[in-house]
Amino acid sequence: MSDASFLSSQAPSQAPSQAHASPLPPRLNARVSVIIPAAGSGTRFGAALPKQYLDLCGLPILIRTLHVFEQTPCVDAIVIAASEDFHEHIQTLCTTHRITKLAAICPGGTERQYSIFNALNTAPILDSDVVLVHDAVRPFCTPAFITSLAEAAMERGSAIPGLVPKETIKEISSDLSVRSTPPRQHLRAIQTPQAFRRELLHSSYAFAEKQGFIGTDDASVVEFAGNTVFVINGLEENIKITTPFDFAVARMLLERS
């Protein structure tokens, strides 16, 4: 694990402009940290570099994501989980772009869940009251959104953002026949950041590890451990850059702002 003492005086970059600038929210009366899982190989994207390191309108996607947390007053520390081949690169990027809240970089795992479990065991996270987990490839969340998730998690133990799906969602069988059509008002498309009280997230991850359970998001790990997870309204522009189409949309969002 690296510490952040390397952060010093290289030329700073311009902070990316916020699409909808609003007054910065105040600090919470709790220690809030964020884990950024960034150990994906980006194979679905088809580029030479993992997508989190690709340039998006002049800045790497990862740096755009980190800037939002850097600008959120209630966030105290950032821990990044990444392949060890990229640790030095991340340190250099964070120095260059003045990410002063970077507290540790830990090794990634073969699954997103293992990357996060590694991060949960770093000192800055063990020292936190509330932990948010946010995909490296979602650069469009905002300080106000992050703060409302952290506040809600402090109050209720958990808060995850969800949007009512625009399309009708079908459950299908392996032969592609429709098995069921769940009512849309009972469905949510879930985003990150997902926010939890630290002990709840840590104990749920430890339980899942013991049971060999792999979930598709952090909330599913907390649910698997028998806990209730609460949803708040998601943010439409908080897209996950997964495909070249998402990349084109991200570029348009930045050009519009």
Q: Tell me which residues touch ligand C5P (CB under 6 A).
A: 37-40, 52, 81, 108-112, 115, 135-137, 242
Distance separating alpha carbons of residues 45 and 231, to the nearest angstrom: 29
Q: Which is nearer to ligand C5P, 129 or 223 (CB)?
A: 223
Give the tokens for residue 157: 């133990």
Q: Which is nearer to ligand C5P, 18 or 242 (CB)?
A: 242
Strand-pairing partners, residue 78, are 34, 102
Q: Which is nearer to ligand C5P, 80 or 254 (CB)?
A: 80
Measure the CA dihedral 231/233/238/244, to 10°.
70
Q: Which is nearer to ligand C5P, 28 or 80 (CB)?
A: 80
Q: How far is the CB of 173 from ligand C5P (least distance, A)?
A: 25
Measure the CA dihedral 82/87/92/93, to 10°.
-10
Q: Which is nearer to ligand C5P, 12 or 244 (CB)?
A: 244
Q: How far is the CB of 178 from ligand C5P (least distance, A)?
A: 26
Q: How far is the CB of 175 from ligand C5P (least distance, A)?
A: 27
Q: Which is nearer to ligand C5P, 133 or 149 (CB)?
A: 133
Give the tokens for residue 68: 């939002």
From the DSSP assignment, how many helices (H) and strands (E) are in the chain? Answer: 8, 12
| Amino acid, single-letter form, for residue 69 | F
Q: How far is the CB of 52 from ligand C5P (least distance, A)?
A: 5
Closest alpha carbon to 61 in 90, 81, 34, 35: 90
Measure the CA dihedral 155/24/119/98, to 10°.
-170
Q: How far is the CB of 38 from ligand C5P (least distance, A)?
A: 5
Buried b / exposed e along 29-46 (16+ C-beta atoms within 10 A):
ebbbbbbbbbbbebeebe
Q: How far is the CB of 109 from ligand C5P (least distance, A)?
A: 5
Residues sharing a CB contact under 8 Å with residue 174, sequence separation 6 or more, in sequence order: none
Q: Which is nearer to ligand C5P, 157 or 234 (CB)?
A: 234
Q: How far is the CB of 32 from ligand C5P (least distance, A)?
A: 20
